[in-house]
Each structure stands twice: as structure tokens, then as C-alpha cells.
Structure 1
Amino acid sequence: MTRTFVVRNTGEAPLTINRAYTTCGCTTAEISADTIPPGKAVTVELRFDAGFHDSAGQTVRRGIIIETNDPDQPQAEIWVQAEVASK
């Protein structure tokens, strides 16, 4: 499963992504840029590999944690939930 999200900088200064990590090895994320100018946006592509664990027939929730230079919100989270089909 792949999902694409938009992260927009609504502030007045460049937003720097210092670090981004996923909550499980079954999930990967790709961010289109490390710095977001004011008023601009980047895409985050989150991929979940249902075959990584034996999760058939289960509901799973995975996410990405994004750490930034924003003093008011230094960390943001994006979560996805999926029902994995039985084999």
C-alpha cells in the first residue's frame, strides 16, 4: 500500500526537516525535499509492506515521525491504518 501526503509550510520562515523515521521496518517514507520555503509544500510518500510481518487478516496502524526546526511544533506525525486481506 502506498499513500501520498502533502506537508505545507504555513509559517514565515523556511521549514527544515531534520529527521524523519517510520514506526516499523514494514513502513518506508520518502520526502521530496528537506527544506520547505514559506507558503510551499512537499510530498511525503508512505509505503506499507503487508508481507513484512504475518499480518494477514489484521488491522495495522503505522506512521512516520517528522522532526523539524519549527519551535512551536518540532515534531509531526502521519499515521495510516489498513486492514490486511487474509491469504
Structure 2
Amino acid sequence: MALTAVERVRATEEAVEQLREELARAGVVLPSLRIDPLTCAGHVLFPLVDLGRCNLDMALRLVAVLSGAYGPDGARVGEGAPSRLSN
């Protein structure tokens, strides 16, 4: 059974909230993280998630999280190891 438009938006809202929580656990805050309002009103299968804008520090933290420099608890992996982000 296909989801209704309301169910698709609700599912996307839940995904955004889960993403926000997991990023926060890793020390990353994307202040403009949200559902893209234009795709909510459109005829797409699911609304898009707008990751928004962030400053340089948050961008580098996100790179570190995605590259495995931080564990799921937000602590640095391999304490004392040289960081690719330093300099």
C-alpha cells in the first residue's frame, strides 16, 4: 500500500529528527537542518532533506565524523593520533 502525502512528510520529519539526534551525539549541529519546504508541496515521492548551511568548524566536524575520526559517543577515535584536520 502506498503512503499518503501526509505519511511521507511525517516519515521525512522523523528521519530529519533521527539525523539531528545522531549528528548531535557526534558533536555536529546543523542549525538549518530541515525538510525542504518546496518538495513538501510538490509531487515527489518523498520530500527532500535540506542539510542547510553550517560554519567551517561544523563542516570539518562533519568530515571527521564521516571519515571515522569520532566514535558514536562523540569522542575522538585513537586519542593522540595525528588529525587530518589539523594545520
Task: Please report the TM-score for the alignment, with normalisation by the length of structure 1.
Answer: 0.34
* TM-score normalised to structure 2 length: 0.34
